[in-house]
Amino acid sequence: MLPDELPSPDDSMEDLLAAFGQGLTGEQTHARWMRLALEEARIAAAEDEVPVGAIVVAAGRVIASAHNQREQLADPTAHAEMIAVTQAAAALGSWRLEGCTLYVTLEPCPMCAGAILQARVPVVVWGAPDPKAGAVESLYRLFEDSRLNHRVDHTGRVLAEECGQILTTFFRGKRK
């Protein structure tokens, strides 16, 4: 259950919710939410941060949105997912993020995957694979590890090309 004091959806959210009412498929729904995470990634790029964005959705509403802030905060844990999970827990007044879906533009790393597991996030949708640090599919499969006490349903490669391109463009600019 969401607190009543959560802010009202903005115009883009109203558009999303209207679209959901028109019977979008799961893939279309994921793509629409991922576009909001991509907006966060663009904010990160504008702030000269690695462009990764994340949102948390509960009951059809965005309850958290974040982007990487490692440079700004001088904090190695300030990944988009970590910040979004913390915001969502504050919004819900609980560390258990049951009933939530996390959308993130890059496959979560081991740190973020661990936090997602600890927060009991039941569903994660990610964009681009991360062959160097991905802990969902690329290097590890933490969400499916039977030794852990929680599992996470996940869907990967949603808008993968767009999610990957923003990273490629960012790092290409850094190498110039």
Residue from 27, 40, 49, 81 carrying the catalytic annotation: 81
- 81 assigned to active site: yes
Alpha carbon 46 to chain centroid, angstroms:
18
Instruction: Cite the active site residues.
Output: 81
